[in-house]
Amino acid sequence: MTSPPFSESAPYGGLPDATGHFGPYGGRYVAETLMPAILELDEAYRRIAPDTDFQQELARLLAAYVGRPTPLFHAERLSRHLGGAAVFLKREDLAHTGAHKINNTIGQGLLARRMGKRKLIAETGAGQHGVATATTAALFGMECRIFMGVEDIRRQAPNVQRMRLLGAEVVPVASGTATLKDAMNEAMRYWVEAVSDTFYVIGSVAGPHPYPMMVRDFQQVIGQEVKRQMAAAAGRLPDCLAACVGGGSNAMGLFYPFLEERTVELVGVEAAGHGIPTGRHAAALGAGSVGVLHGSKSYLLQDPGGQIREAHSISAGLDYPGVGPEHAWLKDSGRARYEAVDDAAALAAFRLLCRLEGIIPALESAHALAWVIQAAPRRSPGEIIVVNLSGRGDKDLGIVVPRIQPEGKEHP
Amino acid sequence: MNRIPRTFADLAARKEKALIGFITAGDPDRTISLAAIQAMCRAGLDLLELGVPFSDPTADGPAIQRSSARALAAGMDLRRAIEMAASIRGCTEIPLVLFSYYNPILAYGAEAFYRHAVAAGADGVLVVDLPPEESAELTSRWPGKALSLIRLTAPTTPPARLEAIAASASGFIYHVSKLGVTGSEGVSVAEVEQKVRELRRVTRLPVCVGFGISTPAQVAAFSTVCDGVVVGSAFERLIEENLGRAELPRILAERVAALKAATRGGKGNAAP
């Protein structure tokens, strides 16, 4: 049985507070037109999520439909190749729809149903959250509309086709940079108008309160399983957890159950794109500054005048100029640290995992792997690093294949 | 006396309602924008909302999104918008309200923003995405009370919340006519009238209505139920349709005159 995602007695300071703040971060920075909806959602979540029937229904779907628990796999060939710490992969890529995103969409979908909302909307970058939301809408017999930047529609075409097959309407967003942030802008605009019968399923630990808390709660099943699986496999806690961070949902889901386990090192890996010094990256925590975007205060990529700067990453899911507010808090408090790896390192990690373990990782997850590839050789064989393999990479073949030289000459 | 209450008192004495114009600062560039705004002020605008362009205007519809993008491309930002406010103040005594998303103000610094805005002759500020729950971090750093903080209310705002918002508001209340983004269509006078009646019970501040109001007929209709009407996207569309034409200031001024005439129907002002 999956553990409840809702924890009244949350660890690490019991954050967020009642108004959705993680220290100075988070909050609810939205127009008054959205405030009543945000307050209604907060009230509904606090009332419905702890309910036993809700928890049982969620646990049943996570097991029977999503396929949880996902395996924790000891990547022995990769570990041997790196010659240091033992590397374990948390196989979120094996969850239904191929990424961790569905843990959250099933949770929010159930909540939407309890609230009497008949329509789901969502923003998506790589398309994984869009696919997961479309899947949830199909499962629950709801209407679904997915907002996606035209740039992302182009580079993640297979996921667009999947969403349409699942019955969702994919709304192209051409404004701004035509990527994830603009899709989120457009979803917020649409939601304002449709708020009476429509539930906005945010896919990351971003947005106005209660979203960062709620998405984290629905994703923390990842870390809870890792804790149990690691105990069974090694009889102890891991030494280090690594996960990629765009908005930061898979990282929060992995980290959260370990926040009070101070011996466990937490490492979030951002996208350095073409490299931090080039300015063409998506490392909000590593190279950004504090600001307000999409309803919460956190680190952002912005110019000195407070205009949001364009993010750059080969991975559409990390191509976002902000980051969830709880990550900002974990960074400032020192509980987690944040590294960045560039496009080239992520591509090399992608390729290495394919060859050594027979697993095609999502480009997002390949960023976390790339950091582990750098870090593991410097650590002793007794150490254990768990990497969140947050998604599978089939969606990325169109990006990856033209960029990597074939190694063997067997297919000239 | 701050220009905002004085303006509403004068209008009430003349049995007129306020015509409030929203214009993005620097659209399509600083020079044209300044000429256009000055022409609009001379043509009878009662209060100017000077929009600070933002890269991610989540509460705005396509017309203001595009106007923000044009202004940003031409180099406008909060600092230059405040400078523009000072230039506008040089030729008009109508109240000026800076209209911004929060992040540019946060980046500017709350105290510097206050000092520079007041020095430029601004009378108020409306921060779209800063609800009362979060606004203390801005206003607590203000070293004076010369700047009104204009609050938004929405069709979905419940009565208790209306009361709380009104209690922390100053200048006037900006009631959003319908759920949606700026420039969306299908506003109902009857629904707005009901909400304005609720607001009258909790505040003596003037109540103005905006979002989706573009024609003289709409201005006349809403003028019967509130103290002022905001027109924004309609002006931005006019700018867009007349990009590159020297007549732009005159075209905007004519529209202002037509809309202003529609505010002179005369009933239902707030208590003076």
Q: Is residue A13 scored above 70 in pLDDT? A: no
A-B Cβ pairs (cutoff 8 Å, strict):
114
pLDDT of residue B188: 86
pLDDT tens readout for residues A294-350: 999 999 999 999 999 999 999 989 999 999 999 999 999 999 999 999 999 999 999
CB contact under 8 A, A294 and B184: no
Buried b (16+ CB within 10 A) or exposed e, B65-80: bbbbbbbbebebbbbb
Residues of B in contact with A181 (CB under 8 A): 56
Touching B: A residues 10-29, CB under 8 Å: 19, 27-29
Distances (CA, A) of A388 to A63, A249, A369, B263, B264: 19, 11, 8, 62, 66
Determine the 3-state secondary structure of A364 from DSSP.
helix
Interface check B157 vs A, CB under 8 A: yes
Q: How many CA atoms lie within 13 A of A229 on its CB side?
A: 21
* Residue with tokens 């500020």, as numbered in its chain: B125
What average pLDDT does this structure show over A13-31? Answer: 93
Find all residues with CB under 8 Å of A103, minimum gap 6, and list them. A62, A66, A68, A95, A218, A219, A221, A222, A253
- Catalytic pick from B16, B27, B60, B77? B60
Distance CA A149, CA A177 (A): 8
Interface check A293 vs B, CB under 8 A: yes
Residue in A closest to B76 by C-alpha = A305
ipTM value: 0.94
pLDDT of residue A132: 98
Touching B: A residues 124-153, CB under 8 Å: none
Q: Is residue A411 scored above 70 in pLDDT? A: no
β-bridge mates for residue A338, sequence order: A268
Compute the C-alpha angle B118/B124/B127, nearest 5°: 115
Mean pLDDT taken over chain B:
94
* Residue with tokens 């022409």, as numbered in its chain: B39
- Quickly state the pLDDT bin for B19 (edges 50, 70, 90): very high
Least Cα separation, residue B152 to chain A (angstroms): 6
- Quickly state the pLDDT bin for A27 (edges 50, 70, 90): very high
Mean pLDDT taken over chain A:
94
Nearest to A36 among B103, B151, B156 (CB): B156
Interface check A308 vs B, CB under 8 A: yes
Residues of A in contact with B72 (CB under 8 A): 307
Q: Is residue B113 scored above 90 in pLDDT? A: yes
Going through chain B in order, the beta strands assigned E by DSSP cover: 18-24, 47-51, 96-100, 124-127, 148-149, 151-153, 173-176, 207-210, 228-231
Residues of A in contact with B157 (CB under 8 A): 32, 35-36
- Quickly state the pLDDT bin for B186 (edges 50, 70, 90): confident
Find all residues with CB under 8 Å of A113, minimum gap 6, and list them. A140, A142
What average pLDDT does this structure show over A212-221? Answer: 98
CB contact under 8 A, B181 and A29: no
Interface check A179 vs B, CB under 8 A: no
Residue A96 sits at φ, ψ, to 5 deg, of -50, 140
Domain ranges across chain B: 3-261
CB contact under 8 A, B179 and A192: yes
Determine the 3-state secondary structure of A322 from DSSP.
strand
Q: Which of A17, A33, A200 to mutate to test the interface with B (most CBs of B within 10 A)?
A: A33
* Residue with tokens 């019991």, as numbered in its chain: A14
Distance CA B261, CA B253 (A): 12
Q: Is residue A3 scored above 50 in pLDDT? A: no
What average pLDDT does this structure show over B27-42? Answer: 97
Nearest to A32 among B107, B153, B184 (CB): B153
Distance CA B155, CA B49 (A): 21
pLDDT of residue A313: 95
Distance CA B131, CA B127 (A): 8
Q: Which of B135, B156, B195 to mutate to test the interface with A (most CBs of A within 10 A)?
A: B156
pLDDT tens readout for residues B35-89: 999 999 999 999 999 999 999 999 998 999 999 999 999 999 999 999 999 999 9
- Helix pair A221-234, A211-219: axis angle to 10 deg: 30
CB contact under 8 A, A304 and B59: no
- Quickly state the pLDDT bin for A409 (edges 50, 70, 90): very low
Helix runs in A235-273, H state only: 249-255
- Quickly state the pLDDT bin for B272 (edges 50, 70, 90): very low
Interface check A198 vs B, CB under 8 A: no
- Quickly state the pLDDT bin for B183 (edges 50, 70, 90): confident
CB contact under 8 A, B106 and A33: no
CA neighbor of B133 nearest in space, from A34, A35, A292, A212: A35
Give catalytic residue positions of A: 101, 123, 390
Least Cα separation, residue A127 to chain B (angstroms): 21
pLDDT of residue A408: 46
CA neighbor of A181 nearest in space, from A312, A19, A275: A312
Determine the 3-state secondary structure of B109 from DSSP.
coil
Residues of A in contact with B61 (CB under 8 A): 189
CB contact under 8 A, B103 and A175: no
Q: Is residue B1 scored above 70 in pLDDT? A: no
pLDDT of residue A404: 76
Least Cα separation, residue B192 to chain A (angstroms): 14
Contact B217, B5 (CB under 8 A): no
CB contact under 8 A, A192 and B180: yes
Domain B3-261 has CATH 3.20.20.70: yes
Distance CA A344, CA A410 (A): 24
Dihedral angle over CA of A37, A43, A46, A52, nearest 10: -100
Residues of B in contact with A176 (CB under 8 A): 55-56, 69
- Catalytic pick from B16, B27, B46, B49? B49
Interface check B78 vs A, CB under 8 A: yes
Residues of A in contact with B151 (CB under 8 A): 32
Least Cα separation, residue A18 to chain B (angstroms): 12
CB contact under 8 A, B107 and A181: no
Least Cα separation, residue A198 to chain B (angstroms): 13
Residues of A in contact with B110 (CB under 8 A): none
pLDDT tens readout for residues A258-302: 999 999 999 999 999 999 999 999 999 999 999 999 999 999 999
Lowest mean pLDDT among A48-57, A176-185, B4-13, B72-81: A176-185
CA neighbor of A344 nearest in space, from A372, A367, A377, A368: A367
pLDDT tens readout for residues B226-265: 999 999 999 999 999 999 999 999 999 999 999 999 999 7
pLDDT tens readout for residues A41-73: 999 999 999 999 999 999 999 999 999 999 999
% of chain A at pLDDT higher than 90? 88
Residue in B closest to A33 by C-alpha = B154
Q: Is residue B267 scored above 70 in pLDDT? A: no
Q: Is residue A410 scored above 90 in pLDDT? A: no
CB contact under 8 A, B65 and A292: no
Compute the C-alpha angle B241/A189/B150, nearest 5°: 85
pLDDT of residue A8: 44
Interface check B79 vs A, CB under 8 A: yes
What average pLDDT does this structure show over A109-136? Answer: 96
